[in-house]
Amino acid sequence: MARPKKEETKKIELKNKNILLEEKIDVESLRDELKKYVDETVNKTFIEELEKTNKKIIREKKRKIIWKNIIIILLLLIIGFLLFVMYRNNYFDKFFNHDNEIEEKEKKEETKEEEQEQKEEKKEEKKEPTLDELKKEYGHLIDEYYVTDSSTYISDFYNGKLTSDMKMYMTLNSFDFKSIPKEEDYNIIKESTFKMMYEKLFDDSYEAKTFNYDDNKIRYVKQMESYMSEKILTKVENNIIREIKDIKVIDDKVMIVTVEGILKNHSLYNVLTDEEVSDYKNDLIINYEDELNTMIYTFKDNKLVNISK
């Protein structure tokens, strides 16, 4: 292959250099454009992010301002309500009408003193009830509580011993015997009826048991849940008389004091000793209380709690 000439070689080299220069110029231009693009892109993104951040901050500020206003409004409403309540209750009167308040206070104190004086006067004017008034109110309480002069319990009763058998006796004594069912030659009383009467008379718990009613034995039959007498029940004539000497009401208790004795054939006797009151003249037996029997009946809620002599 033939070698090129020197002139041709120079032309070729020069040509290559121009190509390189042109290429070099293109790269720098491209770099500038790229840099410009990057700067514009970065600036645009930054500005967009900055705007987003600003908008977010503005929204947060608006939200905080709104909540702040809401809280202020609520507080004002609460304060206004409290002030209204205080006004309705005349709370501010003591600040604006201090003199009137002092006058009202003095008037109230005077009124209280007057009321106290009136109460004391009423207490002084209030009279204690008379014995006759107390008899009308409480005298009937002792009517159902007695034993006859022929009873086996007479000694215990007038010695102030309120036994369980005596309570059963007085419970039966309070029945109207004509209303008690008969079976040939004996009577039957349902336990439920007897128990109801017992609890009406006495302030203690009922307990079923057999007992004596004078000469008649009253048996408790558990299978029948009834009381059965040995013979027909009849009322025995009672010669014991009593008169109320005094009645005392202490708290929730009523104490009735009586003078009692046996009246037979127009003669008066001591219940326990059977001694005759020689100078009895058909007048009030309370006039002979030293020779007769004094009894104290204690009631609570109209029920007999105790007896004593």
Tell me how far apart the alpha carbons of residues 187 and 177 are, in angstroms, rounded to a whole number.
9
What is the per-residue pLDDT for 92?
Answer: 64
Chain segment 209-267, per-residue pLDDT in tens: 999 998 899 999 999 999 999 999 998 889 999 999 999 999 999 999 999 999 998 89
- Better pLDDT: 105 or 305: 305
Query: 211 — phi, psi (to 5°)?
Result: -150, 170
Task: Provide mean pLDDT across the span 122-126.
Answer: 63
pTM: 0.59
Question: What stretches of the chain show up as alpha helix (H) in DSSP?
Answer: 6-88, 93-96, 98-125, 131-138, 154-158, 164-173, 191-201
Q: How is 231-288 classified by DSSP, letter by letter?
A: S---PPP--EEEEEEEEEEETTEEEEEEEEEEEETTEEE-TTT--B-TT--SS-GGGG
Query: 1 pLDDT exceeds 50?
Result: no
What are the extents of the domains in the chain? 128-146+238-309, 150-235
Query: 95 pLDDT exceeds 70?
Result: no
